[in-house]
Structure formats: structure tokens, C-alpha cells
Chain A
Amino acid sequence: MISLREISRDYGVGDARVKALASLNLDIDAGSFVAIMGASGSGKSTAMNILGCLDRPTHGAYLFNGVNVTNLSRDGRALLRRNYLGFVFQGFNLLARTTALENVELPLVYRGLSRATRHKQALAALLAVGLNGRESHTPGELSGGQQQRVAIARAIVTDPLVLLADEPTGNLDSERSHDIMRLLQTLNRERGITIIMVTHEADMAEYATRVITFADGHVAQDHAKVFA
């Protein structure tokens, strides 16, 4: 599904040049649930940005579903994100003063779908994350856990191949965190969505099928778990 080949990413110029990633090689299979761990500055966020096509590597190649997407234009990357990727952030990143339903419909608006189709698909996504009945609530009227569910509904409403989650439980208490992880696990198992998740918490990484630990821009550890 995803192959990173000799990826490096430099920031700054001259003496201030910093290597966030250096010759990173990584393959992720379709249907896997990958947790990425590591100290801050280990390069995991940079890796996520490149995986999410929000950023481009300085060197190396990114193959997505067998297609080299390294040198896609800005709009090309936007279309790739729109059609194949879903994003979940630590801070939820919902549009304020906008209802849950409208938030979930947003990616469909950019796809140019009709109002009726958008409604139908957004309602189905909200149902899938267990938020039926809260369609007309704005983020301000929802708890943190509920807001993150709206964000997940927004990420899956387009039926993405890959869902990228950047510390999805970072702003939630332990109980809500486990709820969200179970939801992600269900989406992974039942819909076959490939999930790549950055987390600091080891017990959240427990839900993943594979745990990758970053250090100094490299993959330091890579454990695959086998489920019965």
C-alpha cells in the first residue's frame, strides 16, 4: 500500500540545516493498523506529514498504491488527500460554529457531490461513529470524545484507503481514549481501512497490529503483532 524509499527531509538552510528524516525506508501493508511512537524530534511528525501528502521529501521516493506520488503538484496532492486519505488530529480541528453534519459533509462539498448525497453519506458516517442524533450540534456543544468522533466521521465519509491519525487521544481522558481506540480498531477490522497513528501512549499503541518506534529520523524498532 505505502512504500517510503530512502526518504530524507531537511529543514532550514546552511549551518541551520536540520535533518528531520534521514534515509527512511518504510513499507506499510493494506489493512494494517500501525502505531508510530518516539520522542519529540524523532521525526515521526515529519514522517506523518509526508505520508499524508501535506509535505514533500527533500530526497527519496513515496509510492502510494504502487504509484510514485513524490513529485505531485500542490493540486495533485490535494486530490490524492481528497480521494484516498482521511485525517484525524489531536486538536480535533473541526470548524467552529458549524454543525457536526456540516463538518462531516465538508470533504464531500469539495468533491462536488449533490446536497442529498452529501446528507446521506454524512449521516451514515455519523452513525458509524455512534453519533446519530447529534447531527445538528456544533463542536462547542459536544464533549472532547464526541468531537473526535465527528472528526473520525469526517475522515471516513469519503471511504479513504488510509486514515492518518496524529495523536488522536492526546486531548482526551483515559476512558474516552480507549473508546476512540476501539472505534479505530473497528474501522480497521470491519472496513479494512489502513490506519497510521502517531501516539505517545504505550497502552494506545496496544490496539495497533504493528508498532514502529522512531529515533533521530530513523526507524529504531519495528514490532508486528500476530493476532489469533
Chain B
Amino acid sequence: MLWESVKLAMRSVRRNLLRSVLTLLGIVIGVGAVIALMTIGSGATQKISADIAKLGSNMLIVRPGGQGPGPPGGNDARSFNERDVDALRKGVRNVRAIAPSANKQSTVVFDATSSDVTVTGTDEAYFIAQDWSFKAGGTFTENDVRAANNVCVVGTTVVSTVMAGVEPLGQTIRIDSMPCTVVGVLGSKGQSAFGSDQDNTIIMPLRTFQRRIAGNTKIASIAVSANSPADVKPAQDAITEILRETRHMGKSAVEDFSVRDMTQIAAMMSSTTTIMTGLLGAVAAVSLLVGGIGIMNIMLVSVTERTREIGIRLAIGALASQVLTQFLVEAIVLCLFGGFLGVLLGLGLAGLATVFLDVPFTPDPRVMLMAFTISGLIGLVFGFFPARNAARLDPIEALRHE
């Protein structure tokens, strides 16, 4: 009996295909929006988590300049020096690495090719703090750092732009006319959360950088990697306390440096995504409501059109419940069809969007199942009133209906 109703419903949808599809637009758009948003949202979340991992685990970034929003470290901000770094190394517990660094946009030249690149001066702890891996070679040594040797580690983008087809290890490249021997090639990290290419980088000992590239002894930032997530907050407090002391700041003075927890920044970014998803989800809900009302409308029309048919069915012995079931099933089948079209639309939109937004395309079968279930429920809820009308018809009146 139920299967008969399903077959009948499918036939009815096929007969009025255009009308059915137009009626279903609300459902299609609603479901499509939900699917697209969930798919894009989960892709974005994955990308953000991946970005957090790229930033380095349990990372704190110490920079000159106030705690406020916007890019830290203006020109007038007091930068750090080696004394600050030494004090941190002595005083902060439960950290894996403390790496001072400074960087500058420079030009790298190899043979006749040149390219713009970010050059960072730091020490060997930097690779640990930033979770860098090595594709070839390795880090420069503590001795290189102390002696300010002309050695460097290059990112994969540098290799592919200026050293294509050459074994990079042992080659001498020129950075702002300073010759420098390549001792390691970094593993690829891809784009940062802010869209810059993290692989277009050259890393060298801090003192080499200060003397030969920057021409000063400023330290622009200090990366600190805590042992575990629980150690991040105590480390943050310890860093603040120590730096206030080394920088001779009075008790009431506002800090002229910031200690940022990278996971906080990432969490802020993903909460923005959540708000957007929520807002657009509300739009989808309204669309589904409108779609449901459309379903009710078309089912009422269908019941009126088929009054005579209902009369025949009642006369030959259909129970009121059987007529109710038939029209309910029809509304549900109609909505499931809409849900199906909506899933296709949503996946299509999400597919396009993920290409443009450069996030992974991750369709979730559970979300699709949920969308189907919601469509079915809409059919059940909004189909009930028309179906009840059909079931309550008087057979004599219904048979007389033209």
C-alpha cells in the first residue's frame, strides 16, 4: 500500500514536472544553501586548522608595539635586543624553543636569475618553533650562528624560481650582493592564513643577517613554542613579566610590545566563519519555510483538482487513513525530489566556491542525509493539512465535483 502510494506520487510529480519543479524552488534553494554553506564551512574550518598547524604548535609571537589590533610593530616601536632574548631563555619555563628573528624583503640572485624573497635572520631554534621540516640538508649550526657564517636555508619557492634544475645544496647564492652557501632546503608549507607564500623564504643566522643584510642589531620578533597547550598561558605571562623588567617599564606603563597566541588568532578567524555560516543558515531556514508553504499550496491545489478521483477512491472502499497516507506520501516524495535537486545545486555551488576560495572540497554524507531528512519532514508537516482535507472529503460531494 505504501509502495503503491510512492509509485503514484512519483507518477503525479512526473505528470506535472514543470509545476512541481517551480513549486520546489524554495526547497531546492533552501537545501542547496544549507549544503553549500556546510560544505564550504567545513572546508574553511579544515583549512584554518591546517593553517594553525603550519604556524607551529603552541606558538607565541612576541613583537614590539602595543597589544591593539592591526599589524604590530610600527617604526617607532622599540625593538628587542639580545639581552631581552637571553633573559627569556633564562626565565621562561616549559618551552621547547625561543627564537629571535628579524626579516627584510631582499633580492636573491643565482646565475642570471633573480627574485624577490623574504630573508629572515634567526637561530636554529626557529625551525623547531615554526615546525619547519627539511627536504634536503639541515639547519645551520650553533657555531654558524655565533660566528655569523655566510650560510642559509632556502624555501622550495626560492629553489624553483632561481635554482631550477640545480642541486641547491652547496651552491652559493647572492642575497643583496652578499654571497651565501645553501646548507638546507625546507619542506613546503604552502600559503599562510593571510595568503602569502611561506615557501618564498631564505633563513640565515641572526648575526649574519644583522651585519650583512639589515645593517642593525634590531630583533623584530621572538617566536616562543611552549611544550603543551597548557603551558601557553603561563609562558605568555612569564614573557610579559620578564620583558617589562628588561625594558625598564614602570608598573603603570602600558606595554610597548605584544605577546600573541597564534591559536587565539586562528580561533578568531574560525569564529568569523561560524557567524557567517549561522547568518546564511537563517536565510536557508526562511527559504525552507517559504518552500514548505509552497508545498502546502500546491498540495491544496492538487487535492481540489483531484476531488473526483478522491471520491472514486473513497466509493470503492479506500479508508480515510489510506487517502491521507497517499497525499502525505505525495508531499514527502515531492519534497525529497526537491531535496535531491537542492543537494545537487548545493554541491555544485560549494564545488565552485571552494575552487575560488582555495579551500578543500569536503562533501559530507551526513549533511546530505540531514538535508534529505529535513526535506522529508517539511513534506510531512506542510503536506498534512492538505492531506487531511482530502481524507475528510464526503464521497458523494466528491463524486459530484466537476
Contact = CB atoms under 8 A, between A and B. Distances in A.
12 contacts: A54-B396, A55-B396, A75-B319, A79-B317, A81-B315, A87-B315, A93-B312, A106-B313, A110-B1, A110-B318, A110-B319, A111-B317
A74 B399 contact: no
Contacts of A79: 317, 319
A62 interface: no
Interface string A68-111: 00000011001101110001010001110100000000110111
Main secondary structure of the interface of B (DSSP, over half): helix
A97 B14 CA distance: 12
Nearest to A105: B4
B366 interface: no
Contacts of A12: none
Contacts of A89: 399
Contacts of B315: 52, 54, 81, 87, 93
B316 A81 contact: yes
A95 B326 CA distance: 15
B329 to A, nearest CB: 13
A93 B396 contact: no
B1 A109 contact: yes
Contacts of A83: 317
Contacts, number: 53
Nearest to A166: B399
Interface in B309-326: 309, 311-322
B320 A74 contact: yes
A106 B317 CA distance: 10
A83 B399 CA distance: 20
A89 B315 CA distance: 11
Interface string A103-136: 0001101111000000000000000000000000
Contacts of B15: 97
A49 to B, nearest CB: 6
Contact of B316 (A74, A75, A110): A110
Interface residues of B, number: 20
B244 interface: no
A136 to B, nearest CB: 15
Contacts of B317: 78-79, 81-83, 107, 110-111, 158
B395 interface: yes
Nearest to B391: A74
A93 B317 CA distance: 14
B308 interface: yes
Interface in B343-402: 395-396, 399
A52 B311 CA distance: 13
Contacts of A78: 314, 317-320
Contacts of A81: 315-317
Interface in A150-170: 154, 158
A109 B314 contact: no
Contact of A106 (B316, B320, B321, B396): B316
Nearest to B322: A110
Given A79-B319, A95-B312, A110-B317, 16 more contacts: A54-B395, A74-B320, A78-B314, A78-B319, A82-B318, A93-B308, A93-B312, A93-B315, A93-B399, A94-B312, A97-B15, A106-B313, A109-B1, A110-B313, A110-B318, A110-B319
A114 to B, nearest CB: 11
